[in-house]
Amino acid sequence: MQLLDTINNIDKIKSKLSKLAIYNYWDLALHIPLRYEDLTKVYPIQEAQIGQQVMVEGKIIGHEITHKRQKQLLVRIDDGSAIITLMFFHFYPNYASQYTIGKTIRAHGEIKADFFGNKTIIHPKVQTVKEDSKLSNTFTPIYPTTNGLANSAIIKLVEDLFNLNIIPELLPEAIIQQYKLMRLEPALLTLHKLTPQQFNSHIHEKALQRLKFDELIAQQLLMQNIYAKKHNNNAPVLKSTHNLIVKLLAKLPFALTNAQKKVLHEILHDMAQPQQMNRLLQGDVGSGKTIVATISALATLENGYQAVIMAPTEILAEQHYLKITQLLDEMGINVVWLSGSQTAKQKREAIAACGDGSADLIIGTHAVFQKNVEFKQLGLVVIDEQHRFGVEQRLALVNKGSADLHPHQLMMSATPIPRSLAMSYYADLDVSSIDELPAGRTPIQTMLINNSRRHEVIKFVREHASLGHQAYWVCPLIEESEKLELENALNTFDELSSQLAPIKVGLVHGKMKSKEKADIMADFVANWTQVLVATTVIEVGVDVPNASIIVIEHSERMGLAQLHQLRGRVGRGNNASQCILLYDNQQLSETAKQRLKVISTSTDGFEIARQDLLIRGPGELLGQRQSGIPALRFANLEADLEILQQAKIIAQSLAKNYPMHAKQLVELWFYQKQIYAGI
C-alpha cells in the first residue's frame, strides 16, 4: 500500500494518524466526516431560527464582561435586520480586545434563546471579515480526530490526497452500469467535499451507497473464500444405515416436527459427502435441537466413528448427558461423560475410553478439547451454544480428527440469527433453522412489574407453589461482580425462605461445586424444592416441565437474548406459564426500555433477534465469533439488507469473471485485518 509520503512532514503526525487507524491513502479516503458545518451562506439574523446551526455576519456594536453567576464575555453584533449576542464562558483576559466596536465578523454556531428570548450563540466559531473574505462553496467537514491533530490538518491531508489522483476504480464498468452506481473517486470526493447543491439533490446518499456496496461485496468475497476453504477439507463419508436411528425413533413418545425432519435431511446429506460439513443448526428455545443432534450422532456411530457433544456449562452438558443416556438406554451404546469436575480417576478412565475407541458418544464441557484428550476415530463434533466458545476453542476440538480426515461439524444455537447477520458474518456456514415448536408447548405470558411491587410477586409465587407448581427466581450479574451476584442471590434466598415458609426454597449459583449443583437441581426436578433461587447458570439447558413461573430481577440490566433464554426455562409442561420481569425504574435507560418492550410483546426468537440487531448492532451479537472477521464501517445490516442481497450476487460474479477486481477489493477493504481461515 502506498503511504502518503508526498505530504510534507507526514512522519511527524504518523503516530497521531495511527490512533485513528489511518496508515495509508485508502484509510484516509475512508475517513469520512462525522458531520458538516455550513459556511457557504450567511443567514440574516432575523431569519435564523432557534435550534439552527448557521453563520451570521454583522458589525460589533458592543461588548462587556459580566460576573453574573460565572464570568462571561458578551459580544453584540448587528446586521441591519436584528441584533444577536455571542456568549463566551471560557476566555483569556485579552480576548475582549479582539472585539472592537465597528469591526465586522462572522459567527457560526447553534442559535439559542436567552432568559428574555433574545437570540444568542454560545461559544461560536468566529472569523474577521476582510475585503477579500469569500464564502466557501463546500460544506466544512468535521472529522473524527485525536489529541494534537487538528481538524484543519485532516482537511489539508484529504485535499492533497485527491490531488494525487490515485483512487482506483474497484468495480467493472458492467456492474457500475447495471446497478446505477456512482464511480468510486467522485463518491469519496462528494463525501469529503460536499456542496449545498449535492446535499439538496441527495447525491451524498448515492455516494454513501457506493461505499456500502463495495464494503459488502468485499465482505461477501472474504466469507465466500473462507467457505470454500472450510468445505474443501476431506471428511469421512457417513451414510446412515438407519439401524440405530429407527430404534431411537420407535422409543420416542412423540413424533418429530416437519422442521426437525427438514434439518435432519440437510445434516445427514452433508455428512454423507466426502467434504467436511460446517453447519449451524439454529432453533428457538425448546424447538428440539437436542434430539436432532442425537440422531446425527447415531448416524456417525452407525459408520463406526465416534461423536462428541460439547456444551459451555457443566449444568447444560450434564443435562445433555442425562437426557441422551436415557434416550439411548438398552441400545448398546457407550455414552461417556467428560468434565473438569471429575476426579482424576474418572478423567483417566474417560480419556482412555476416548483414545481406545470404546467410548462411542462423548458428552462434556471444555474438557473434551484439552491436549491430553485423543480420539480413535472422530467423525462428528456437535458444539452447543457455539457463540459461547472462542474461535481457538472450536478449532481445538475439530482438530482432534485424524490428519487426513476432518470430523464433520454441527454447531447449535438457541439464539436465532437474523437473516442479514446469517448472510454476512455467518456466510461461511450452511444454516439450518428449526422454525417450528413441538406440539403441546404452552404459551408464556410475560409481565413487566416495577420492583416496588415485589411483595405482590412473592405473594403470586406463594399461591402457585401452594398448588404444586414450581418457580425459578433469577438474580442476574450485578456490576460485573461475581461477589455481588452471589451476595444478591444469598440475600434473595434468605428473603424468600422466610416469606414463603413452609414452601421449600433452593439455591444454585456458579460458585458451588458440581456435585452440590447437581443435587440441588435433582431436588428441583423431583419437585422436592418448589422455588429455586438461581444466578444465570440456569440460562440454558435446564428442563423442568413442572416449572411454570420464572421471576427475573433487574431485567433492565440484561440483554434480549439472555432474557429470551431464561424465559424458555418455563412453558415446557401443561400448565399456563408466566415470566415476570422485575425492573428498577431509576436504572431504566432508553435502550433498556426498548429491550423490555420487545421481550414483553414477542415470544418469537427470530423476531427478538432481529430487534436485538437493530438495538445493539452486530458487534455484541457476534460474541467471540467476531475474532478475525472485520466489522462493517458503513453498511447497516438491517437497513441495507437489499444491498447485502445484491452484494452476494455481485461477489459471486466477480470471483468467477473478474478475479483481479475481487482480489483488489478484498485487499483494499480488509488488508490489515487478521483473517482466520478456520473460523
Flag whether 456 is in a domain: yes
CA atoms within 13 A on the CB side of 152: 0
Residue that terminates a domain, selected from 135, 162, 189: 135
pLDDT of the residue at 480: 45
Is the pLDDT at 400 greater than 90? The verdict is no
Is the pLDDT at 622 greater than 60? The verdict is no
Q: Which structural domain range is residue 57 located in?
A: 53-135
Of 547, 537, 542, nearest to 579 (Cα)? 547
Return the number of other C-beta atoms located less than 10 Å from residue 408's C-beta.
31
Residues 258-309: tens digit of each pLDDT: 999 999 999 999 999 999 998 999 887 778 899 999 999 999 999 999 999 9
Flag whether 108 is in a domain: yes
- Alpha-carbon Rg for the chain, nearest whole angstrom, is 32
Q: Which residue has the higher pLDDT, 180 or 437?
A: 180
Flag whether 156 is in a domain: yes
Is the pLDDT at 485 greater than 80? The verdict is no
Is the pLDDT at 632 greater than 50? The verdict is yes
Tell me how far apart the 2 most distant CA atoms of the chain are, in Å: 101
Is the pLDDT at 5 greater than 80? The verdict is no
Residues 88-141: tens digit of each pLDDT: 987 777 777 888 899 999 999 999 998 888 999 999 999 888 877 788 889 999
Please give the average per-residue pLDDT across 556-580, as a whole number.
85
Please give the average per-residue pLDDT across 322-345, as a whole number.
89
pLDDT of the residue at 351: 92
To 10 degrees, what angle do helices 560-567 and 605-616 make? 160
Which range among 404-413, 584-593, 664-673 shows the weakest confidence by mean pLDDT?
664-673
Is the pLDDT at 20 greater than 60? The verdict is yes
Co-location of 69 and 106 in the same domain: yes
pLDDT band at 413 (very low <50, low <70, confident <90, very high): confident
| HEC readout, 241-275 | CCHHHHHHHHHCCCCCCHHHHHHHHHHHHHHCCCE
Co-location of 370 and 345 in the same domain: yes
Of 297, 286, 300, nearest to 257 (Cα)? 286
Is the pLDDT at 572 greater than 90? The verdict is no
Please give the average per-residue pLDDT across 14-18, as a whole number.
87
Return the SS3 of 400: coil
Highest mean pLDDT among 5-14, 31-40, 366-375: 31-40
Co-location of 498 and 594 in the same domain: yes
Co-location of 24 and 160 in the same domain: yes
Co-location of 275 and 323 in the same domain: yes
pLDDT of the residue at 325: 92
pLDDT of the residue at 92: 77
Total count of domains within the chain: 4
Co-location of 382 and 486 in the same domain: no
Pairwise CA distance, residues 545 & 196, whole Å = 64
pLDDT of the residue at 427: 81
Residues 487-504: tens digit of each pLDDT: 678 889 999 999 999 999
* Cα-based angle 301, 411, 331 (whole degrees, multiple of 5): 25
- 342 Cβ neighbours under 8 A, 6+ residues apart: 350, 367
Please give the average per-residue pLDDT across 166-193, as a whole number.
95
pLDDT of the residue at 192: 96
Flag whether 664 is in a domain: no
* DSSP assignment letter at 581: E
pLDDT of the residue at 628: 52
pLDDT of the residue at 283: 85
Pairwise CA distance, residues 551 & 532, whole Å = 10
Residue that terminates a domain, selected from 135, 165, 189: 135
Report the side by side order of strands in the sheet with 361-364: 335-338, 361-364, 306-310, 378-383, 408-413, 278-283, 430-434
Co-location of 384 and 459 in the same domain: no
* DSSP assignment letter at 532: E
Which range among 13-17, 237-241, 373-377 shows the weakest confidence by mean pLDDT?
13-17
Flag whether 220 is in a domain: no
| HEC readout, 85-110 | EEEECCCCHHHHHHCCCCCEEEEEEE
Of 181, 155, 157, nearest to 169 (Cα)? 181
- Any idea what the CATH number is for the domain that residue 290 is in? 3.40.50.300
Please give the average per-residue pLDDT across 467-486, as a whole number.
71
Return the SS3 of 347: helix
550, 582 in Cβ contact below 8 A?
A: no
Residue that terminates a domain, selected from 578, 602, 626: 602
Burial per residue of 189-216, b for 16 or more beta-carbon CB atoms within 10 angstroms, e otherwise: bbbbbbbeebbeeebbebbbbbbbbbbb
427, 224 in Cβ contact below 8 A?
A: yes
Co-location of 468 and 596 in the same domain: yes
Q: Which residue has the higher pLDDT, 314 or 160?
A: 160
Of 608, 609, 611, 283, nearest to 446 (Cα)? 608
238, 299 in Cβ contact below 8 A?
A: yes
Kindly compute the dihedral angle of the four CA atoms of residues 65, 66, 67, 70, in this order, to the nearest 10 degrees.
Answer: -80
Co-location of 108 and 149 in the same domain: no
Flag whether 230 is in a domain: no
Indicate the pTM of the whole model.
Answer: 0.75
Pairwise CA distance, residues 331 & 247, whole Å = 8
Pairwise CA distance, residues 406 & 44, whole Å = 73
Is the pLDDT at 624 greater than 80? The verdict is no
pLDDT of the residue at 516: 83
Burial per residue of 294-333, b for 16 or more beta-carbon CB atoms within 10 angstroms, e otherwise: bbbbbbbbbbebbbbbbbbbbbbbbbbbbbbeebbeeeeb
Place of cell 405473594: 459
Flag whether 537 is in a domain: yes
pLDDT of the residue at 391: 55
411, 296 in Cβ contact below 8 A?
A: no
pLDDT of the residue at 6: 41
What percent of the chain is predicted at pLDDT more than 90?
A: 48
Beta bridge partners of 275: 234
Is the pLDDT at 368 greater than 50? The verdict is yes
Co-location of 346 and 448 in the same domain: no
Co-location of 410 and 282 in the same domain: yes
Flag whether 207 is in a domain: no
Is the pLDDT at 160 greater than 70? The verdict is yes
- 428 Cβ neighbours under 8 A, 6+ residues apart: 223, 224, 226, 227, 230, 278, 679
Co-location of 414 and 470 in the same domain: no
679, 428 in Cβ contact below 8 A?
A: yes
pLDDT of the residue at 675: 34
